[in-house]
A and B are shown apart, each in its own frame.
Chain A
Amino acid sequence: MALWLVLTPLCFALAAFATPSERVRPWLLPLAGATQLGLIALELGGHGTGSGQPWLWLDPLGRLVTAYLALLFFLCAAYAPGYLALRSERPNRIFCAVTLVFFGMMNLIAGAQHLGLLWVAVEATTLATGPLLYFNRNPRSIEATWKYLLIGSVGIALALLGTFFVAYSALQAGIATSLLMPDMLANATQLSRPWLHSGFVLALVGYGTKMGLAPMHTWKPDAYGEAPGLVGALLAGGLTSCAFVAILRMFQILGAAGEAEFARGLLLSLGLFSMAVAGAFMVRQGDYKRMLAYSSVEHMGILVLGIAIGGAGTFGALLHMLNNGLTKGVLFLSAGNIHRAYGSKRTDDVTGALRVLPASAAFFLAGFFAITGTPPFGPFVSEFTILSAILHAERYGVAAAFLALLVVIFVGMGGTVLAVVQGEPSEQALATPYRDGWLSVAPIAVLLALVLLLGLWIPEPLSALLTDAARVVEGVH
């Protein structure tokens, strides 16, 4: 089944590449998303044709992530046709095909049970997203793409070295190494510590670069700032989560080796540092898309923080992965609409959006409140869970820092968001031809509804899946 989850998007990619019509092609994206959702439904329904290959199959974590990716992708894809219709001046053949490839590779990451394969998939996503960032074809987007590619590739290269180190740790312990997760977990206790430790550090830095943990986050503001809102949503919601999964795989091995504490120390410091950096750069941030990028950095920090605390924190982190991704979808898509209407990302030019684009601006505002952990939205529940986990672990200093940083971030983000939505719009802003349409608003509404739903009620199967995934990460059976 996992294989199908990877192959389906690739087939659609081929189809998209083959499709001649610029107007028909975009509709392949939601179609692929829908198909994927169907497959996932089968999988979750237990009709999944078990693990065909030893190095590509879905454990609970994989199932969780693939399901979430399918949902997110479907909604973003539903936004795509409307968007691409507006950008009819740009050919979208490459865009559609590559987006689908990117999607397939993300599924590959989720399903990969072999560290090498995992790495290949992650690198593949890096390369696939390059053209997406470059969609706008202007100097700024070139620059962003270049930085993204180079920094990403270098980071990933380090991750490869880390993977090799882990492999060598097995080799050195005299185990027949296969880099297959089950084997690694089984023999973890015998792995040679120095290699394992440095391997984890390398992988953490490498995949952390993809995930956008400070100080490896520098590509993020540029990339998210220049990419179309749609791509931003897929990156911030999907790719970062996949990189997170990659880190979790490494963490699993260390946990199995009884080195969880070692890993947690690193994760804790990186997490808090990321939140701090994000807060520092969000204050008085004059560019609302860059601001979203820093918000993404912040939430990556929260994710690893949750893992670092462990226990309920792991559950909270996984839940937060979903909440953050969906909310980021709301934010990036609505920000994209606002960007369309105003043609600027600077808060100096963009004011009074509520009066120009009532719907999009309202969603942007709602997304802001959601992402900053306002009840009754989903992120509130997950952040609350993480916080109580921190307090339960009696890490009061960490809790205080966590809350203080949340205030700083709220100030920074709120300042920018309110500057955008409130106040008096400029003349040419009111004169803009762009208006909220169904295609550009409905997906956002659905995403927001999902975020709200996750805050009010976590369906039984989902919480079960989350619990299992958390078990997998924690390594308890």
Chain B
Amino acid sequence: MIELLDLVLVAVLLQNFLMLGTSRLRAAIQFAGIQGVLVGAALYIAHADAGLRVLALAIATVILKGLVIPSILLRAMRNVSIRREIEPFIGFTTSLILGALATGVSLVFSRSLPLLDEHLEALIVPASFATVLTGFLVLTTRRKAITQVVGYLTLENGIFVFGLTLVEAIPFLVEIGVLLDLFVAVFVMGIIMDHISREFSSLSTEHLTSLRE
């Protein structure tokens, strides 16, 4: 079981790097979607024995993160005719290096924390930290509003991965609530992005600096 889970998690990490590497928005969105599917799968794999509740949760996750949210983002992207992330604050190669660095750091960090034995060798905790950091990296270095949403998604995915360790602890309703919040968040962000693109005929956050001291 562990091996399979780790395999999936490695795939998740891979998505991080692809996301950092790509300059095309559509690709970034798709990677985020794939990552969503993967974490959904990971959830089921990790707790296959937990029965129907986990299954339902996993399916909900996959649908939401894998299909709904990406489609929202793609729609928002279609409204404005932009295809690629023009020159981020940090170049793509640098981002990749930083991503690798983040992954290393999270490996070390997770080792330094007292983990349960079943999580000790599993990749869960480091993968989650690495994904969180990647999300942060995307959030702070990419100029397009849409990419920032993608970053936010990645962040959420990372946290979700950490959640794998305590599915027992968190009641089903709360999990659903979390997913619902995520959905609404992206939905509202999508609306706002619509308005942004309408007002500024672009999705670049460069225009969003009129409120300042």
Asked whether the complex places CB atoms of A and B closer than 8 A, the reply is yes
| B192-A142 in contact (CB<8A) | yes
Among B129-182, those with CB < 8 Å from A are: 132, 136, 139, 145, 148, 152, 155-156, 159, 162-163, 165-166, 168-171, 173-174, 177-178, 180-181
CB within 8 Å for A120 and B181 given contacts A146-B208, A157-B152: yes
Residues on the B chain within 8 Å of A123, using CB: 181, 185
Q: B188 at interface (Cβ–Cβ under 8 A)?
A: yes
Among A167-217, those with CB < 8 Å from B are: 167-168, 170-172, 177-179, 192, 194-195, 198
A-B contact pairs, 14 of them (CB 8 A): A116-B177, A117-B173, A117-B174, A119-B174, A126-B185, A146-B189, A146-B196, A154-B152, A157-B159, A161-B132, A177-B166, A179-B174, A195-B113, A225-B211
| A161-B159 in contact (CB<8A) | yes
| A157-B156 in contact (CB<8A) | yes
Residues on the A chain within 8 Å of B209, using CB: 143
| B170-A167 in contact (CB<8A) | yes
Could you tell me which B residues sit within 8 Å of A by CB distance? 113-116, 132, 136, 139, 145, 148, 152, 155-156, 159, 162-163, 165-166, 168-171, 173-174, 177-178, 180-181, 184-185, 188-189, 192, 195-196, 199-200, 205, 207-211, 213
Known A140-B211, A142-B196, A172-B114; 18 more pairs at CB < 8 Å:
A116-B170, A116-B174, A120-B181, A130-B192, A131-B188, A137-B195, A139-B200, A142-B199, A142-B208, A143-B209, A144-B211, A146-B189, A157-B155, A171-B169, A179-B174, A194-B113, A221-B213, A222-B211
Q: How many whole Å from A226's CB to the nearest CB in chain B?
A: 7
Contact of A167 among B136, B139, B148, B169 (CB under 8 A): B169
Q: Which of A164, A226, A281 has the most CB of B within 10 A?
A: A164
| A171-B165 in contact (CB<8A) | yes
- Tally A-B pairs: CB < 8 A: 122
| A116-B171 in contact (CB<8A) | yes
A153 to B162, CA, bound (A): 18
A134 to B208, CA, bound (A): 14
Residues on the A chain within 8 Å of B177, using CB: 116-117, 120
| B165-A168 in contact (CB<8A) | yes
A221 to B200, CA, bound (A): 22
A75 to B113, CA, bound (A): 49
| B181-A146 in contact (CB<8A) | no
Contact of A168 among B166, B200, B210 (CB under 8 A): B166
Residues on the A chain within 8 Å of B145, using CB: 146
CB within 8 Å for A149 and B185 given contacts A142-B195, A172-B114, A172-B116: yes
Residues on the B chain within 8 Å of A198, using CB: 113
CB within 8 Å for A179 and B170 given contacts A127-B181, A222-B211: yes
A192 to B180, CA, bound (A): 30
CB within 8 Å for A127 and B169 given contacts A117-B177, A120-B178, A172-B116: no
| A127-B184 in contact (CB<8A) | yes
Residues on the B chain within 8 Å of A143, using CB: 207-211
Q: Fill in one digit per residue for A100-119: 1 if any B CB lies within 8 Å of its CB, else 0.
A: 00000000000000101101
Secondary structure at the B interface, as helix, strand, loop or mixed, is helix
Number of residues on chain A facing chain B (CB within 8 A): 48
Residues on the B chain within 8 Å of A295, using CB: none
Q: A398 at interface (Cβ–Cβ under 8 A)?
A: no
A171 to B116, CA, bound (A): 8
A360 to B26, CA, bound (A): 52
Residue of B nearest to A177 (CB): B169
Q: How many whole Å from A184's CB to the nearest CB in chain B?
A: 11
| B210-A140 in contact (CB<8A) | yes
Q: A124 at interface (Cβ–Cβ under 8 A)?
A: yes
A461 to B44, CA, bound (A): 52
Q: 8 shortest A-B CB distances, which residue pairs? A: A116-B174, A120-B177, A177-B169, A222-B211, A123-B181, A143-B208, A167-B169, A167-B166
Q: How many whole Å from A3's CB to the nearest CB in chain B?
A: 13
Contact of B211 among A167, A195, A226 (CB under 8 A): A226
Q: A324 at interface (Cβ–Cβ under 8 A)?
A: no
Q: Which of B166, B199, B213 has the most CB of A within 10 A?
A: B166
Contact of B192 among A145, A171, A195, A281 (CB under 8 A): A145
Residues on the A chain within 8 Å of B162, using CB: 161, 164, 168
Q: How many whole Å from A216's CB to the nearest CB in chain B?
A: 14
Q: How many whole Å from B105's CB to the nearest CB in chain A?
A: 14
A164 to B145, CA, bound (A): 28
CB within 8 Å for A221 and B211 given contacts A120-B177, A160-B159: yes
A106 to B155, CA, bound (A): 25
Q: How many whole Å from B93's CB to the nearest CB in chain A?
A: 25
| A149-B188 in contact (CB<8A) | yes
Residues on the B chain within 8 Å of A55, using CB: 171
A221 to B177, CA, bound (A): 30
Q: A147 at interface (Cβ–Cβ under 8 A)?
A: yes
Q: How many whole Å from B12's CB to the nearest CB in chain A?
A: 16
| B169-A178 in contact (CB<8A) | yes
| B139-A154 in contact (CB<8A) | yes
Residues on the B chain within 8 Å of A225, using CB: 211
Q: A150 at interface (Cβ–Cβ under 8 A)?
A: yes
Residue of A nearest to B132 (CB): A161
Residue of A nearest to B164 (CB): A164
A160 to B174, CA, bound (A): 11
Residues on the A chain within 8 Å of B199, using CB: 139, 142
A153 to B185, CA, bound (A): 8
Residues on the A chain within 8 Å of B171, using CB: 55, 114, 116, 178
Q: How many whole Å from B76's CB to the nearest CB in chain A?
A: 13
Residues on the A chain within 8 Å of B174, using CB: 114, 116-117, 119-120, 179
Residue of A nearest to B189 (CB): A149
Residue of A nearest to B213 (CB): A281
